[in-house]
Amino acid sequence: MSKYLQRYSDQERMNHWIVAICFILAALSGLAFFHPALFWLVNLFGGGPWARILHPFIGVAMFGFFLISMLRYWHHNKLDDNDRKWLRQWRDVANNREDMLPEVGRYNGGQKVVFWITVASTITLIVTGVIFWRPYFANLFPIELIRLASLLHAVAAFTLIVSTIVHVYAAIWVKGTLRAMTRGNVSDAWAKKHHSNWHREVTR
């Protein structure tokens, strides 16, 4: 007998995908400015000036929706000793030896780390982005701060992109995961296998 467990509500899923779309747009436009080899990406946005105009607004939208997720999942993502143990066993994780790992709750240690990296880089992006956002805010800040902000913005974007690659890959790699974000539910077996503590909690 097969049974599905609700993991994300409709609203949560819509929010996630809005953030995801914003991220993709912001990342594509941002990468266009980041490296000459990728400048052609501005054409996706109607050219350089449009990419420059849209990028910060997309970023603000992404941050706003991300904030909702962040507040919602904050308390699920506190790292505990169990997570640290899980993380220390990354070789078992990578080789699908899940039976060797400690039992996992709603999120595993890796997911939690990705969550916090995303939180940190997204906040950095919004703060630094506003500092050099022309023509609206940049003139309020000293040039040295603008320079620092520009560098940190790039570093944070890099971090976010890399962690998002990891995030996306994990969803592809761990079969049955994608469904959580497309349909909102996961199979009982998936939950038992990857998030046994959470499974116990929701089926009690």
The residue ranges that bind another protein (CB under 8 A) are 2, 32-37, 39, 42, 48-49, 51-53, 94-96, 98, 132, 134-135, 138, 143-144, 146-148, 150-151, 154-155, 158, 161-162, 165-166, 169, 172-176, 187, 189-190, 193
Assess contact for 115 and 77: CB atoms under 8 A. yes
- The residue from 76, 167, 194, 199 that is catalytic is 167
Closest contact distance (angstroms) between CB of 12 and another protein is 22
Using alpha carbons, list the distances in angstroms from residue 138 to 58, 87, 129, 134, 149: 18, 41, 9, 5, 10
Assess contact for 59 and 26: CB atoms under 8 A. yes
Closest contact distance (angstroms) between CB of 161 and another protein is 6
Residue 179 dihedral angles phi and psi, to the nearest 5°: -55, -35
Give the residue with the Cβ less far from another protein, 135 or 204: 135
Give the residue with the Cβ less far from another protein, 65 or 112: 112
Closest contact distance (angstroms) between CB of 75 and another protein is 27
Closest contact distance (angstroms) between CB of 52 and another protein is 4
Give the residue with the Cβ less far from another protein, 14 or 165: 165
Beta strand spans in 8-122 (E):
none
Beta bridge partners of 4: 187
Among candidate residues 110, 62, 64, 65, the one with its CA nearest the CA of residue 85: 110
167 is an active site residue: yes
Closest contact distance (angstroms) between CB of 76 and another protein is 21
Integer Cα distance of 25 and 49 in angstroms: 15
In three-state secondary structure terms, 175 is coil
Give the residue with the Cβ less far from another protein, 65 or 111: 111
Give the residue with the Cβ less far from another protein, 34 or 116: 34
Angle between helices 10-34 and 48-73 (to 10 degrees): 140
Assess contact for 9 and 183: CB atoms under 8 A. no
Assess contact for 138 and 146: CB atoms under 8 A. yes
> How many residues can be counted in the chain?
204
Catalytic residues: 167
